Structure 1
Amino acid sequence: MHGTTTSHSTASSLTTTSPNGTAHAARETSARRDPLARRLGLGASGDRAADDRGAATAEYAIATMAAVGFASLLVVIMQSDEVRGILTDLVRTALTVGG
């Protein structure tokens, strides 16, 4: 095998063995394997929006926090005597008109 170059690939690294038996790290053909390149948007296609894993989870978290904030505001508003009186009058009016 004198004069040949062989490549050994694993899930985490790619090495090339030179004819004299020395192993060298080979350049990866795709930046998709490199997490830093993926975060910087240096993928093979160059499209930063291509990797949107976790986006739905983040959107759900933001929507949930907004809903919790709105519910907290409603609880505070509903505890005031003025609002409670207005709602009580509204319900009484609705029941008397319908009945």
Structure 2
Amino acid sequence: MRDELQNQSDDQAQETGCGGREERGITTAEYAVGTAAGAGLAGLLYKMLTGGFGNELLSTLFDHVLDLLGI
């Protein structure tokens, strides 16, 4: 049974032009794009939260939490 499934998989790979290789996971180029996007997002968040917007946001959030706790 396992050999039959492997043969079917090989046939499908040849039909799609994969040469018998499975296409699982992400490639190196996708890792690079994901890493660059993550770094860009982290830089944007850092810039936002260390500026006036971040101080106001954290101050408002802290005040709301204290109000909820009744302090």
TM-score, normalization: structure 1?
Answer: 0.41
Gaps of 5+ in 2: 1-13
User: Which residue of the partner structure matches residue 65 of structure 1?
Assistant: 36
Identity across matched positions, percent? 28
Residue 51 (structure 2) pairs with residue 80 (structure 1): yes
Q: Say how many residue pairs are matched.
A: 55
Equivalences for residues 42-61 of structure 1 within 5 A:
45=14, 47=17, 55-61=26-32
**C-alpha separation between the residues in 2 aligned to 1:73 and 1:49?**
42
Q: Which has the higher strand share?
A: 1
Q: Which has the higher helix share?
A: 2
Gaps of 5+ in 1: 1-44
Equivalences for residues 1-99 of structure 1 within 5 A:
45=14, 47=17, 55-99=26-70
**C-alpha separation between the residues in 2 aligned to 1:92 and 1:83?**
14
What amino acid is the match of 1:76?
K
Larger radius of gyration between Structure 1 and Structure 2: 1
